Amino acid sequence: MSSSTAAPGQSPIADPTPLSLCTREPRVPADRLVAEMVPPPRFDAVRFATYVPDQAQPSQTEAVRVLSGFAAGLGGAHPTGEGRRRWFGGRARAAAPAGPRGVYLDGGYGVGKTHLLASLWHATPAAPEQKAFGTFVELTNLVGALGFQETVRTLSGHRLLCIDEFELDDPGDTVLVSTLLGKLVDAGVALAATSNTLPGKLGEGRFASVDFLREIQGLAAHFRALRIDGDDYRHRGLPEAPAPFSDEQVTKTAYATDGASLDDFPHLLAHLARVHPSRYGALTDGLKAVCLTGVEAVPDQSTALRLVVLADRLYDREVPVLASGLPFDRLFSEEMLNGGYRKKYFRAISRLTALARDAKELVRAA
């Protein structure tokens, strides 16, 4: 490609060109969706021992204690599933120990819920193929890819299912997942979930857990809710997100960084509409950095929700994001930030801000 031409969505630049998300249209087989239901790279090495509780928030220390005990209690499952039947029900229901079959971590942004959820996955004494970890969106995408009955069959052989960022803002998806979880509980699968308290409801006690337990209806009795208080660790004692860079700085850094992508932000938003969100993880395969020019306010809700999923996948994979244009805290309109999906938008802002800080080192090295 010469300096006078460029793929749609890319800045016109000379060879060798950086990668472009806008030229990627991955096809992801269903078996990969199942195999990838493990804690993302960012949480590969986390354990309960690496979680650092805020000493001013005793609920964080208590959560580690409770979850450690919950993980230990999931041991002893026979590979055939007979251990699960003895533990949870079936023919040996009378011998099942008392107590909830699931835990729900209730708290705001950045208090370490995903760290704790991944630590639970790692600590549970079962083979990796007997444990599943994914976001609520990834779980609904799995149902879409496999079908409901096949998803039930596939996950029923698991010892534990961890669901990060359980979403209560789509009634249809909530009913779908609640029905799925009911089938899995009947099969003896232990459950763990997190979600975020809505920003406008912080300080109102157990708002999120009450909503969660109400929405999953018949499953509520299977969950113990753990409140985790605290501030967003991503911003504890850290500076605000760096101001956006110039187009020239972003482009120069993209060229100087092996494995970086370079895209015009509006073109990228348009491309996301052509790629199913279940493929956004594959969209980021091999990326070492994402460089974006011309960041502007997201024009509508559908586009905003797709961007949230991409931000989650980039954060999970620890991919720095370098951008020109508007700062990330101005991506979403006031109407969006005050609406029903606001918890997603605040999460995206928090995560993109963390990734923008990570990208500063790339500019210095360019």
Which of 234, 213, 232 shows the shortest CA–CA distance to 222?
Answer: 213
> What would the two tokens of residue 186 be?
């009947």
DSSP string spanning 186-209? HTT-EEEEEEE--GGGTTSSSHHH
How many angstroms separate the CA atoms of 234 and 351, rounded? 8
What's residue 210's pLDDT? 64
Q: Three-class SS of residue 291?
A: strand
For the range 83-87, what are the long-range contacts, defined as Cβ-Cβ under 8 Å and sequence gap of 24 or more?
84/159, 84/187, 84/188, 84/189, 85/188, 87/188
How many angstroms separate the CA atoms of 77 and 84, rounded? 5
How many angstroms separate the CA atoms of 72 and 225, rounded? 18
Cα separations (Å) of 73 from 77, 141, 160, 192, 231?
10, 30, 11, 13, 30
- The dihedral built from the CA positions of residue 224, 225, 228 and 234, taken in this order, carries a sign that is positive
Residue 205 CB coordination number (10 Å): 12
Q: Are 195 and 109 in contact (CB under 8 A)?
A: no
Q: Are 7 and 20 in contact (CB under 8 A)?
A: yes
What's residue 213's pLDDT? 61
Q: Consecutive 10-residue runs of the chain (366 residues): their mean pLDDT?
A: 46 67 90 87 94 91 95 66 38 43 82 93 95 91 89 94 81 81 92 67 45 65 82 57 89 96 98 91 94 97 94 94 95 90 85 92 86
> What would the two tokens of residue 363 be?
């500019």
Distance between first and last Cα of the chain: 22
CB burial class (10 A; 0-12, 13-18, 19+) of residue 249?
A: middle
What's residue 136's pLDDT? 87
What's residue 170's pLDDT? 66
Determine which helix (DSSP H) or strand (DSSP E) holds 131, and give its type and residue range.
Answer: strand 131-135
Angle at 222 between CA 218 and CA 226, to 5 degrees: 120
